[in-house]
Amino acid sequence: MAVQTVATTSDSTVDLGPAAALSCRECGHRVPLGPVFACEECFGPLEIAYDFSAYDTEELRRRIEAGPASIWRYAPLLPVPADVAEKPNLNPGWTKLVKADNLARELGVTGGLYVKDDSGNPTHSFKDRVVAQALEAARAFGFTTLSCSSTGNLAGAVGAAAARAGFRSCVFIPHDLEQGKVVMAAVYGGELVGIEGNYDDVNRFCSELIGDPAGEGWGFVNVNLRPYYAEGSKTLAYEICEQLGWRLPDQIVIPIASGSQLTKIDKGLQELIKLGLVEDRPYKIFGAQAEGCSPVSTAFKAGHDVVRPQKPDTIAKSLAIGNPADGPYVLDVARRTGGAVEDVTDPEIVDAIRLLARTEGIFAETAGGVTVGVTRKLLEAGVLDPAKTTVVLNTGDGLKTLDAVAGTGLTATIRPTLDSFREAGLA
Amino acid sequence: MSVTVRIPTILRTYTGGQAEVPAEGGTLGEVIADLEKNHTGIAARVLDDQGKLRRFVNVYVNDDDVRFEQGLDTATPDGAGISIIPAVAGG
């Protein structure tokens, strides 16, 4: 396999818009923008530090509202150059916020229930949002190969983004993923490598590859480009608030895999408050896991600050990260906002997929079943307030995880006659 | 016990740029103490003020995450491969 030789050193002159530096979330140590992800002082995660000081609130609001129907309407708040929308990329985002009145009636929600349906992205999951950020960072740092460790959705998003942008892609997945995700990742023509192990094994492999000459010059979207990549999830927060009429929801239910999405949605909401784009009022963030991979909800319920890794065993494979990198920060967010973290069983996930499909015509992948299932469980427990505006995330398309609802099929098979139709009790 | 320790990029300033270094010790704790003797300063990057593994460091002895084993007391058999990896990847 040919190795690309490219510039990988930090460069303070790179143009990534308002991104000013990388800052350690743990100890605050700052380094210049570059393809690095862990703090050299304490191993903590590096995050983007921005300079938003020049923005006037109303001018920014007008600029966003006049922007493209994609995440790039929020380019002034992301680590991307100002002309990002003109570069070849998948232009993801601006997905539907569905007012789910039928589901609300079924669940007894009176304060307004919405589904943020990210199955509408180009590769049918929220991953297009994060990959789009990583792609711009990869361009800025001179990479020409995109890579990642993936539970499936990310593999497809990286493959498609690389194809559009003219990059090579080589991505790594657990060897036993759902067939739909394998096909949707492979079809874009990049290299797709199955690793004999679970996602945490794949992730470990990629982390080692990045420090080896064999991985030199590769932009791993969720490893050495992770600080940039993760910022893409902020756009979910921006869109939800803008689609609600520049208003914070009261409650948001978010799936947890690594926990990055949940923590970045919180970061996005905080930015909107600080920028004056939404009124500063309390909101609660709730995390959702599958019982078969529930390290964060286990820690939350036990009152722990430390997340003990688990060996995943669940049909919700896109959430099957047993050692979630941002788990401790999820606990911080849930506790700070007065939210919670809960989990549901595999049968409850399947029931929830069917419930959402039956009530709203939205076919969610297993991760969406997890959020809807947890929403139902938290409402029944009185933890979620039914009188509050609530947003539930569906992060992927059910066509990717058909096996989960494999028992669903024909109501009847009949001859092409009216008699047969009546005999089958369908009249 | 003689083991080989794989060093992540951000700690290679302590090993003269080497990606793998040899070390001695019957437990992970002993191996880290031995690393510190030969590569001064490296232990403080891996361990916190209480002498525990930092929460964003993953350590594997052969293929086993030491958090599923006995942490710093995990045995390090002769010839074992030990990997120190930043935990903030993935997702």
Query: Using one digit for the tens of pLDDT, what is the confidence trace for B12-23?
Result: 999 999 999 999
Q: Which of A308, A420, A396 is nearest to A123 (CA)?
A: A396
Residue A9 clears pLDDT 70, i.e. is over it? no
Using beta carbons and an 8 Å cutoff, which residues of A are at the interface with B? Answer: 26, 36-46, 149, 199-201, 203-204, 206-208, 210-212, 220, 222-223, 226, 230, 257-261, 306, 308-309, 311, 321, 323-326, 328
How many whole angstroms separate alpha carbon A140 and alpha carbon A384? Answer: 43
The answer to whether residue A7 scores a pLDDT higher than 70 is: no
- Within 10 angstroms of residue A261's Cβ, the number of other Cβ atoms is 27
**What is the structure's pLDDT at B18?**
96
- % pLDDT > 70, chain A: 97
Contact present, A268 and A235 (Cβ < 8 Å): yes
- The answer, yes or no, to whether residue A376 has pLDDT greater than 90, is yes
Q: What is the pLDDT of residue A179?
A: 87
Average pLDDT over residues A174-201: 93
Q: Is the pLDDT of residue A210 over 60?
A: yes
Bridge partners of A191?
A170
pLDDT for B53 beyond 70: yes
Kindly indicate the confidence band of residue A3, based on its pLDDT and cuts at 50, 70 and 90. very low
Q: Residues of A with CB below 8 A from B67's CB? A: 308-309, 323
Q: Least CB-CB distance to B87: which of A36, A260, A325?
A: A325
Residue in this structure with the two tokens 């874009």, named with its chain if needed: A188
Q: What is the average pLDDT value for chain A, to the nearest integer?
A: 95
Count of C-beta atoms within a 10 Å radius of residue A107: 21
Number of domains in chain B: 1
Q: What is the DSSP-derived secondary structure letter of residue A10?
A: -
Reply yes or no on whether the pLDDT at A1 is more than 50: no
Decide if B70 is inside a domain. Answer: yes
Classify the phi-psi angles of A12: left when phi > 0, otherwise alpha if psi is within -120 to 50, otherwise beta: alpha
User: What do you get for the CA distance between the two ends of chain B, in Å?
Assistant: 36
Is ipTM strictly over 0.85? yes
* Residue A298: CATH number of its domain: 3.40.50.1100
Is residue A126's pLDDT more than 70? yes
Query: By the 8 A CB rule, do A213 and A244 touch?
Result: no
Which CATH number belongs to the domain containing residue B58 in this structure? Answer: 3.10.20.30
Looking at residue B61, its pLDDT comes to: 97
Highest mean pLDDT (candidates A9-18, A55-64, A178-187): A55-64
Q: Pairing state of beta strands A218-220 and B2-6?
A: unpaired
Mean pLDDT (whole number) for B38-52? 96
Residue A290 tokens, joined: 């599958």
Question: Is residue A195 scored above 60 in pLDDT?
Answer: yes
Its domain, for residue B67, covers: 2-86
pLDDT at A321: 94
Is the pLDDT at A365 greater than 70? The verdict is yes
Compute the distance between CA of residue B22 and CA of residue B80 in angstroms, rounded to an integer. Answer: 10
Q: Is residue A295 part of a domain?
A: yes
For residue B38, the distance in angstroms to the closest alpha carbon of chain A comes to 19
pLDDT confidence of residue A287: 98
A410 touches A133 (CB < 8 A): no
A370 occurs within a structural domain: yes
Task: Answer whether residue A46 is part of any domain.
Answer: no
Confidence of residue A12 (pLDDT cuts 50, 70, 90): low
pTM, entire model: 0.94
Q: How many domains does chain A have?
A: 1
Cβ-contact A151, A125 below 8 angstroms: no
Chain B residues with beta carbon closer than 8 angstroms to that of A43: 10, 45-46, 54, 56-57, 86-88
Q: Which residue of B has its CA nearest to A258?
A: B91
Contact B58 A26 (CB under 8 A): no
A224 within a domain of the structure (yes/no): no
Contact A321 B90 (CB under 8 A): yes
Does the pLDDT of residue A6 top 80, yes or no?
no
SS3 B59: strand
Cβ contact, residue pair B91, A230, below 8 Å: yes
- Considering the domain boundaries, does residue B22 fall inside one? yes
pLDDT band at residue B89 under the 50/70/90 scheme: confident
Nearest to A43 among B7, B13, B57 (CB): B57
Q: Domain range for residue A251?
A: 96-124+232-405
Residue B66, in any domain of the structure:
yes
Residue B91 lies in a domain: no
